[in-house]
Chains A and B, each alone.
Chain A
């Protein structure tokens, strides 16, 4: 069964500094990985996804994530944080086992990102 972990409940970063939100996963097949963001009083928004190909994936709002198969990680990064990046971030994984119709998407518990002005 697949699982995903976000080891940090909260991350604090000063505005202008680089940020990293960590995500590790466990799957039996090939992982499909996603990052979503939830702003206060707004629905979840898709940021980026990794299906196959280049390990560095670029997404919305200047975010990017690096797929690392050996470390089973998919950390979210941004070179220079903005106060408006403060939100709740979710990593998600789907174990693509080909013909397994029971492969569901699993979300991490979320990491609250605080960007300090």
Chain B
């Protein structure tokens, strides 16, 4: 069974631009969560989607948004990029709703904002 895939793996953007990251969960998994990982802040929860609905949201500004499609694939969008948005963005999937279930993480998308 294929693991969680994230595209692209690397991105370089400039301040003010917007970016869309994609995540394909493990086949059969309906829940997708997104995390931001930085050296200073560690791993921070962004949001969780289940059945195309956002179920939970972390403490990030409205510039960070996401969505989930009917095939469970998810996208995350960051608008008006800031230097501080440079991070590794991780996607995780699980079979059902809620982070109590074991989450399977993708390799991440490393975003660099110049």
Complex contacts, A45 vs chain B, CB 8 Å: 105
Tell me if B56 and A44 are in contact (CB < 8 A).
no
Interface contact B42-A108, CB-CB below 8 Å: yes
Known A-B contacts A43-B105, A104-B56; the reply to A90 vs B43 at CB < 8 A is yes
* Closest B residue to A110 using CB positions: B42
A-B contact count (CB 8 A): 49
The residues of A that contact B56 with a CB separation of less than 8 Å are 101-104
CB distance from B30 to the nearest CB of A (A): 17
Chain A residues bordering chain B, tally (CB within 8 A): 23
Give the interface SS of chain A, mostly helix, strand, loop or mixed. strand
Q: Quick check: is A114 within 8 A (CB to CB) of the other chain?
A: no
CA distance A42 to B45 in the complex (A): 19
One digit per residue, 1 when the CB lies within 8 angstroms of any chain A CB and 0 when it does not, for chain B 60-103 equals: 00000000000000000000000000000010100000011011
Chain A residues within an 8 Å CB radius of B21: none
CA distance A46 to B3 in the complex (A): 13
Q: 7 A-B contacts, Cβ less than 8 Å apart?
A: A42-B107, A43-B4, A44-B105, A94-B99, A94-B100, A107-B43, A109-B42
